């Protein structure tokens, strides 16, 4: 972004990478997949790079309002300084915070989750997926992210993206508005679960395995971690894979393996 600003240019969209997409090795692959899609379509985008800091979501969920406001105000100052209007992100936590919580602090932007962004590209005919590809005849189940679904009512966009793959979408019994949390929200990602009969991510993984799908699709880095851990706990790594919807589109297009 700084390089474009030095040239007097503004991108069509700012890609907010997020902490997981920047530092978590597994989620970096989602970032790469999404960027390759953007590049293949010649979409004019930029990233903040080292100027991007955590949105403060986890700090606020954990009860540290002071830290949240410090992080938020710093980010808003950077975004407003560049005159950013549209932001796309692969993280529902970043999406929710930027969209719903930054406006009260002076950060007003058009924030889009990558599932909706990809859906629009497919609807516009910019992403074309021919029938009968590598996903033909395969079963995929989709896990709803709490911050994307219940918090922001985005249920159909990720499913429409998956439908374009020409695979069979099999729903878990608890889905959409009655979906079960993976267990990572509300800062739970950063602590061990409370003692109980069964970890919630294992419960959710068992539901996904019950669909007999060979792919569990997610649209959130937190869900990615929790569902992947669940698959490892059930020793199903050789049979079932956990993939972000951007990775599935990029794989279908031959951008990633």
Distances (CA, A) of 85 to 22, 108, 120: 22, 8, 18
pTM score: 0.95
Distances (CA, A) of 86 to 12, 108, 128: 7, 10, 24
Q: Write down the pLDDT at residue 253.
A: 86
List, in sequence order, every residue forming a beta bridge with 45; answer none if it has no partner: 13
Give just the sign of the alpha carbon dihedral 57, 59, 62, 64. Answer: negative
Contact 250, 209 (CB under 8 A): no
Q: Write down the pLDDT at residue 188.
A: 85
Indicate left, alpha or beta for 18 from its phi (over 0: left) and psi (-120 to 50: alpha): left
Per domain, the residue ranges of the chain are 2-119, 130-253
* CATH assignment, 130-253: 3.40.50
Closest of 161, 162, 197, 200 to residue 179, by C-alpha: 200
Q: Write down the pLDDT at residue 257.
A: 66
Q: Write down the pLDDT at residue 132.
A: 60
Q: Write down the pLDDT at residue 120.
A: 97
Cα 141 to Cα 144: distance, rounded to the nearest angstrom: 10
**Topology agreement, domain 2-119 and domain 130-253:** yes
Contacts of 104-110 with C-beta under 8 Å, sequence gap 24+, read 105/69, 105/72, 105/73, 105/76, 106/76, 106/80, 107/72, 107/75, 107/76, 107/79, 107/80, 109/79, 109/84, 109/85, 110/85, 110/86
CATH number (3.40.50.620, 3.30.70.260, 1.10.3720.10, 3.40.50.1860) of 2-119 reads: 3.40.50.1860
Q: How many helical (H) and strand (E) elements, i.e. helices and strands, does the chain have?
A: 11, 8
Q: Write down the pLDDT at residue 99.
A: 98
pLDDT tens-digit map of 164-214? 998 999 999 999 999 999 999 888 888 888 888 999 999 999 999 999 999
Cα 105 to Cα 117: distance, rounded to the nearest angstrom: 25
Low pLDDT (below 70) residues in the chain:
131-132, 257
């Amino acid at each position: 972004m700084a390089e474009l600003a030095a040239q007097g240019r503004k991108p069509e969209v700012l890609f907010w990478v997020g902490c997981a997409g920047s530092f978590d090795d597994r989620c970096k692959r989602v970032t790469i997949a999404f960027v390759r899609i953007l590049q293949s379509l010649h979409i004019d985008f930029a990233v903040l790079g080292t100027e991007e800091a955590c949105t403060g979501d986890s700090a606020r969920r954990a009860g540290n309002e002071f830290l949240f406001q410090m992080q938020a105000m710093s980010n808003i100052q950077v975004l407003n300084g560049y005159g950013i209007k549209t932001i796309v992100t692969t993280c529902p936590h970043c999406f929710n915070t930027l969209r719903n919580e930054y406006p009260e602090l002076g950060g007003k932007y058009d924030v889009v989750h990558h599932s909706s962004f990809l859906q629009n590209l497919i609807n516009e005919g910019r992403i074309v997926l021919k029938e009968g590809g590598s996903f033909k005849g395969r079963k995929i189940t989709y896990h709803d992210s709490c911050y994307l679904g219940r918090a922001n009512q985005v249920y159909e966009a990720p499913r429409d993206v998956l439908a374009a793959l020409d695979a069979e979408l099999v729903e878990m019994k608890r889905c959409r508005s009655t979906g079960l949390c993976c267990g990572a929200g509300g800062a739970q990602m950063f602590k061990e679960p409370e003692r109980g009969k069964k970890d919630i991510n294992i419960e959710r993984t068992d539901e996904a395995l019950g669909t007999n799908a060979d792919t569990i699709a997610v649209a959130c880095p937190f869900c990615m971690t929790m569902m992947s851990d669940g698959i490892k706990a059930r020793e199903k790594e050789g049979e079932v894979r956990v993939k972000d919807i951007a990775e599935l589109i990029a794989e279908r297009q031959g951008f990633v393996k």
